[in-house]
Structure 1
Amino acid sequence: MRYRADIDGLRAVAVAGVVLYHARVPWVQGGFAGVDVFFVISGYLIAGLFAAERARTGTVDLAAFARRRVRRLLPLLLLVLAVSLPVAAAVLLPQQLKDFGQAAGAAPLFAANLLFWHESGYFAATAAGKPLLHLWSLGVEGQFYLLAPLLLWRRAGLLAAGLLSLAAAVWAARALPEAGFYLTPFRLWEFLAGAALASWTLPRLPRAAGAAGLAMILATFAGFDGGMAWPGAAALLPVAGAALVIGAGGAPLLAAPPLVRLGQLSYGLYLWHWPVFVFFALRWPEAPWPLAAPGLLALSLALAWGSWHLVERPAARGAGGRLLPAAGLALVAAGVGLHLSGGLPARLPAEARAVLAQARVSSTPCHDRLDAAQAAAGARCVIGAPGVEPDLALIGDSHADHLGPALDRALAARGRAAVVYTGSWCAPVPGFGSAAPGRGPGCAALMQAAWAQVLADPKLRTVIAAAQWGNVTDGTRGDLPAVAYGSAALAASVPAANARALEAALQAFAPRLRAAGRQVLLPMPVPEFAAPVPDSLARLAWTGTATGVATGTATATLPPLDEAARNGAAAAVLRRFAAAAGARTVPVRDLFCAPGAARCRVRAADGAPLWRDASHLTPAGAAPVVARLMEIVDAGTATTGDHHDHLSLRQPPDTDRARVHLYR
């Protein structure tokens, strides 16, 4: 197969898109599609090599093919992992280092995509703490190599597999977005689009087609963003663009020497740039990114240039091949060791370890305990004083559950009890939810059954209904693809559609709730943050730097996410519902943030974090919220409107686990 300089130029375009996207260049928000372009190129080259060898020898030496692919990919990958390991140990927090070790162990086995599939999405906020996240694409690439002999043997099979994969990708982009992004079956069509060009004898496309293809790729980089369902039907644009460029062949612009050289460095640049970006951002979080990014890009290019000369070219000639198995096993073992060690927590000072320990998940054992059928049959999970018939109900999602341990303590002190119906992603609205997998598809039925049980029991005079309402109106919590709730159609304006669906469901429920005459309290949303609060506090104790943290003698504050953008629509819907249903909204933001302040208190006077992550409260953080709610309950008031009493922030006794004393 003859060398084509323009394909190296196309590689340059692809890697530039990815790197500039990761560098947060505002006009390259769709640069992640450069990976899709790489997959098309890879499919074309692998199919071309197979076709050329089969034409020459009548067969394909699969063992030789595997050796060539290993020599091409593994040496530099192992070097990047070896360099990253000590840097990770110096920069990452224990959980981050534990996850890093797992990824480092999976990467040489070309299985990183399977690992990240089980973790956060590629566009997640937490992705910024994963220095090896970009290696998911090598997992997909390696798995394609395993399947290539089967897929590329007959052209009819290639076409059928490609169409099936494309159809599955379009479906998964909405129904199973994480699987659709990371798993090879949903990416095969991109490889096979390139493979088709090499498998069929097609006339060369006119040069204008190549120019149009390049324009399609650049339009993707400039016009798309990480909020899109990907790689669904929208990915056809860059994939078709890459196919047109390859099919036209010989584009003078792409064959220009600077682009060709960048294309030759593309593998190294891809491997090096993301760890460089992530480690810098974690170690120097206050550094202004626009000023730092050019230097980080230059460093990444320098590393790519050096490794191309010192590693990639010698490895292509067979140098060091005998060392690869031992080196690969050593790095896998090192990664597994880091994971099993829990991320070497002893590296951190005692204060940082204490912050992370205090922020462990605190939940009632009732959370996600009941399904709709159990709730409808009368099964109940109860917290508070043992042996006492409940007179309260706690209903909602994990933002209801995070109140549970503190509520359990408060109820026990009063000789009272509460029945709990909480489930992940479950907004406390009967018959309302999202059907999307992983977003509580059983929530609508569970909330229907829960409210039926509560309203049928006259002893349950008070209901606390809480949720991370911004999840509903936004369709996401910021690190997952947006989904539709209720009857809303997922469209360009998901928040508006979801807000309308939420309002319709609540207003339909309001007359029934008003007629029931219950005291219904709706805690308003707590402040949320861009990163897990305990991580920021632990990093502050470890290195003296953390993004946005301002400290006093015993407290710390952080700037929260914009309240109006995150919760404004939900707050308006809840207030209108409260007025219609005779319920009461209870503001809680002022417990943590001074009126008009741009920062919120995130640590108690004794140093305990008030959040366990970026949005959920610890028992210490939930205590003042519960105190405000119980003040209303104790007073027996049931008027509508906002409750504005100001309570002091105080640290409760240990409330890590609520006591469940009744389950029937």
Structure 2
Amino acid sequence: MPTTRFRRDVQGLRAIAVLAVVVEHTAGSPVGGWLGVDVFFVVSGFLITGGLFRQLRDDGSVRLTTFWWRRLWRLAPAFLLVTAATLALSAWLTPGAFRADATAAAASLVSVSNWYFARIGTDYFAALGPTSAFRHTWSLGVEEQFYAVWPLVVALVAVAVRSRRGVRSVRAVLTTLLVVVVATSLVSAWSSSASDPSVAYFSTTTRAWEIGAGALVACTTDGRRVPARVARVLWSVGVVLVVLGLVSITAAVPAPAPAGLLPVLGTCAVLVGGTVRGTGLPVLENRVTDGIGAISYVLYLWHFPVLVFLTVLAPSATWTSIPIALLLAHATHRLVEEPLRYGLRQRVRARPRPPQRSLAYASAAAAVALAVGVVAVRPVPEPVQLGPVTASGAVRAVQEHLGTALAATTWSGLPRDLQAREDSHTLPRACGSIVDRPAIEDCTFGPATAPHTLVVAGDSLAATWLDALVPWAAEHLPGWRLVAVPTDGCPAIDLPLRGLRPQCASASASALRTIQELRPDVVLLTSKLEDPFGLDGTLRAATEHEFADGTERFAETLRSSTGRLVHLLPPPGGADLRTCRSPFGTPLACVTRTSASWRERAATIHAMAARHGDGIVDSSPLVARDGLTTAVVDGVPVRSDRVHLSRGYAGSVRAALGQLLQQGVPQLR
């Protein structure tokens, strides 16, 4: 059967895909729900290519301006509405993230948001910023780039081939081209998913195989029949593969390949099997999937900003983002999409049923009422209960200030417009850069001829301490020079990590050579503890035993080159001020508990230090009290994101950090 007829199973695929994405974003389950986007890509390639072939058969050519205008008219109105609403809410609810949201919105408007998120994903500090309310638009960018390029390719091939050989030859040439594109893109995706996962996930080139697979199905099935028995088997197997992918593939599997194989193959099988009428089953062909499939685009648009802002307003009621998004999507579909898609004049002539419009208005009102209700009845956080301060001196002062901040119920002394990110490109923090790395002379602080040397090494968490260590050493360590050789984004662990930045190997080797040449009295080592360590060439993260062994091996490479290796445990992570602070909340919304992974891995470092006689200094008392940490102390943001200390806060606790160092490292007294 030609692809001209309406395919209820395709509408069902859309429904399953968008529901999987929405529920996974909200509840974290199904574990592979994020692969619903891959299903969308295949369906888009299939439908757009099928439509282009119909136009070529019926009109003898591809009318590019008509195609592009219809795509714009179909997608832009709802997108502009959601974008305007999202920016307004961002300015009101999360002013600290507004600048980043506005930049992401601009990238989305010109259909390059996928490249925008790929770029900031390669910036270690920017990648740890607040979740953008526009992050989900990356997939729209990929599809819109396909809409811009693929029709032009089809039109050029049609002009070059059809005049001599006919439509069948055009299809043959495009099929060959698609096979090459799909194969090349899949190989690239498989390779870069492990080596550069951020770029691979968002890149158009590594997603082209998914859209190309759908286009290939359209090319090979255009106007052709599949035997009914084969079609039924393909359709059934395809549904099973799609569902299996959505419920079983976790984020530990490199994406888009091999993670996307099951949903892509399953979607292709459904599309081929559905070319024969009557092969579908109720699982994809029913009134519910018909309705959700019809609003899938606007539901996808609404769900993520609704979730992001509800996370700020009522973090314990984020489940309500699903009914709110459904109601908003229904209203947008009825009041915006359909009138503009089919034309106001046609709808007036057709005299649509009043209940539909009334239902749309009722849906919008219900969504607003539900959102207001959630905010109005949001639970008030319990007051923080703290024990007595046991520290002394500067550390005691920091602990007392932390106690006051943890119990605060009002915001004070904090500007409304927080910077989206701090400048990490000026000294001394810039000494951690592995892209534009300063000369070692620029990262040497104190007299070059000093008799003693302290080296600061590790990843970006070591670099954040430089704002405290450099001025403290200048004041309290006469006769010492401080040399900074941290490597941002390169954890101090000897494991083959998936997604490790390409420059890490050379940067770490350079830092090690510097340490070997200097033979310092003390090496102060700091590296992340809380993030998962995905292993290259596998679909899993490192076990705690592997973490311990890898940390042990890395430390061993330093011990022979220094008089004393000292492990400075990194500060535990916390809430990002740009998202936990809102006009409706209190600082209690920014209070978090030290994670279990931080505590477990800190214990591993303690045990290793005890075995080898290394020094160990725990920095957690500078940001946490009784296992609790907050985002603001004395009007100063504690972190610039979720894990990195702000420059202002690091500088404010330098005396306390110095006290901890002198207590734990006799050489520094």
2-structure distance, mates of 1:74, 1:320: 20
CA contact (8 A) 1:521 1:585 kept: yes
- Whether the aligned pair in 2 keeps the contact of 1:503 and 1:577 (CA below 8 Å) is no
Does the aligned pair in 2 maintain the 1:533–1:602 contact within 8 Å? Answer: yes
Query: What code does the residue aligned with 1:135 have?
Result: T
Corresponding letter in the other structure for 2:9: D
Please state if 1:5 is matched with 2:8.
Answer: yes
Structure 1 portions without partners, runs of 5+: 322-347, 476-481, 550-557, 638-664
Q: Distance in 2 between matches of 1:215 and 1:121?
A: 36
Is residue 613 of structure 1 aligned with residue 613 of structure 2?
Answer: no
- The residue type paired with residue 82 of structure 2 is V
CA RMSD of aligned residues (A): 3.6
Q: How many Å apart are 1:566 and its aligned residue?
A: 3.4
How far apart, in 1, do the equivalents of 2:420 and 2:34 lie?
37
Post-superposition offset of 1:66: 0.8
Letter in 2 for 1:610: V
Residues 357 and 132 of structure 1: CA distance in aligned 2, closer, same or farther (over 3 Å): closer
Match of 1:342 in 2: none
User: How far apart, CA to CA, are the structure 2 residues paired with 1:428 and 1:320?
Assistant: 66
Cα distance change, pair 127–448 in 1 and its aligned pair in 2 (3 A): closer
Does the alignment pair 1:525 with 2:570? yes
**Residue aligning to 2:380:** none
Asked whether the 8 Å contact 2:428–2:467 carries over to 1, the reply is: no
Partner residue, 1:449:
513
Check 1:238–1:138 CA distance in 2 against 1; reply closer, same or farther (3 A cut): same
Query: 1:631 deviation in Å?
Result: 4.2
> Does 2:327 align with 1:302?
yes
Q: 1:231 to 1:635 in 2, by over 3 A?
A: closer
CA distance in 1, matches of 2:103, 2:309: 17
The answer for the alignment partner of 1:29 in structure 2 is: 31
The 1:429–1:366 alpha-carbon spacing in structure 2 relative to 1, beyond 3 Å, is: farther
Query: 1:129-528 residue pairs with structure 2 within 5 A?
Result: 129-149=131-151, 152=154, 153=157, 154-201=174-221, 203-204=225-226, 205-249=230-274, 250-253=279-282, 254-285=284-315, 288-289=316-317, 292-293=318-319, 295-318=320-343, 351-353=413-415, 356=418, 360=422, 365-369=427-431, 379=441, 381-384=443-446, 388=450, 391-414=453-476, 415=478, 416-427=480-491, 436-437=500-501, 440-455=504-519, 460-470=520-530, 474-475=532-533, 482=534, 484=536, 490-496=538-544, 498-499=546-547, 502-503=550-551, 505-506=553-554, 508-509=556-557, 512-513=560-561, 518-528=563-573
Match of 2:586 among 545, 548, 554: 545
Q: Aligned pair count?
A: 567
Per-residue CA deviations over 1:137-196 (Å, capped at 9, x if unaligned) read: 111111001221355542211111111111111112111211211121111111111111
Q: Report the AA paired with residue 579 of structure 1.
A: R
- Looking at structure 2, the residues matched to 297 and 354 of structure 1 have their Cα atoms a distance apart, in angstroms, of 30
**Compared with structure 1, are the counterparts of its residues 173 and 364 closer, same or farther at alpha carbon in structure 2 (3 Å cutoff)?**
same
Do 2:236 and 2:270's aligned partners in 1 also have CA atoms closer than 8 Å? yes
CA shift digits 1:200-239 (9 cap, x unpaired)? 1454343132122112111222112333311111211000
| TM-fit CA distance, 1:362 | 7.2
Percent identity, please.
26
The answer to whether the 8 Å contact 2:432/2:459 transfers is: no
The answer as to whether partners of 1:170 and 1:232 remain within 8 angstroms in 2 is: yes
Residue 196 to residue 88, structure 1, CA distance change in 2 (3 Å):
same
User: What's 1:18 paired with?
Assistant: 21
> After the TM superposition, which segments of 4 or more aligned residues of structure 1 sit over 6 Å from their partners?
370-378, 429-435
| Structure 2 SS opposite 1:391 | strand
Q: Which residue is equivalent to 1:341? A: none
CA distance in 2, matches of 1:433, 1:454: 28
The 1:160–1:136 alpha-carbon spacing in structure 2 relative to 1, beyond 3 Å, is same
Whether the 8 Å contact between 1:423 and 1:443 is mirrored in structure 2 is yes
> Partner residue of 2:114?
113
Judge conservation of contact 1:206–1:248 (CA < 8 Å) in 2: yes
Q: Aligned-pair distance for 1:493?
A: 3.7
Q: Answer yes or no: is the 8 Å Cα contact 1:355–1:607 preserved in 2.
A: no
Q: 1:166 to 1:525 in 2, by over 3 A?
A: same
Partner of 2:76: 74
Output the CA distance in 2 between the equivalents of 1:396 and 1:234: 32
Q: Offset of 1:367 from its aligned partner?
A: 4.4
Partner amino acid, structure 1, of 2:109:
P
Deviation string, structure 1 residues 329-362 (Cα, Å, up to 9, x no partner):
xxxxxxxxxxxxxxxxxxx987231894799457
Q: Matched residues in 2 for 1:174 and 1:432: separation?
A: 11
2:373 aligns to what?
A: none
Asked if structure 2 preserves the Cα contact closer than 8 Å seen for 1:31 and 1:221, the reply is yes
Farther-moved stretch of structure 1 (153-162 vs 236-245): 153-162
The residue that corresponds to 2:382 in the other structure is none
Q: C-alpha displacement at 1:636, in angstroms? A: 5.7
CA deviations on 1:258-279 (whole Å, 9 max, x unpaired) are 2112111111111111111112
Structure 1 residue 74, shift from structure 2 partner: 0.8
- TM-score w.r.t. the length of structure 1 is 0.77
Deviation at 1:282, TM superposition (A): 1.7
Check conservation: 1:363, 1:404, Cα contact below 8 A: no
Question: CA 1:574 to 1:157, structure 2 compared with 1: closer, same or farther past 3 Å?
Answer: farther
Please state whether the residue corresponding to 1:226 is helix, strand or coil.
coil
Aligned 8 A contact 1:375 1:450 in 2? no
Task: Provide, for residues 491-533 of structure 1, a one-character-per-residue CA deviation record: whole Å limited to 9, x for no partner.
Answer: 42424475255245246437625xx5x133211232112x325
**For 1:185 and 1:603, how far apart are their aligned partners in 2?**
42
Change (3 A) 1:151 1:164: farther
CA distance in 1, matches of 2:545, 2:253: 16
Match of 1:583 in 2: 614
1:45-56 equivalence runs, <5 A: 45-56=47-58
Q: Name the CA distance, whole Å, in 2 between partners of 1:167 and 1:279.
A: 38
Amino acid at match of 1:454: L
Any idea what SS the aligned residue of 1:393 has? strand
| CA spacing shift, 1:367–1:438, aligned 2, 3 Å | farther
- Mapped contact 1:521–1:583 kept (Cα < 8 A): yes
Q: Distance in 2 between matches of 1:40 and 1:238?
A: 9
Q: State the partner residue of 1:627.
A: 659
Q: 1:373 and 1:301 mapped to 2: Cα distance?
A: 44
Match of 1:552 in 2: none
Q: Is the 8 A contact 2:253 2:539 kept in 1?
A: no
Give the match's secondary structure for 1:118: helix
Return the offset for 1:439.
Answer: 6.8
1:441-464 Cα distance to aligned partner (Å, 9 max, x none): 423312321221222xxxx42222
Q: Which runs of 5+ in 2 are unaligned?
A: 158-173, 347-409
Tell me if structure 1 keeps the 8 A contact 2:49–2:219.
yes
Match of 1:3, SS? coil
**8 Å CA contact retained: 1:80, 1:271:** yes
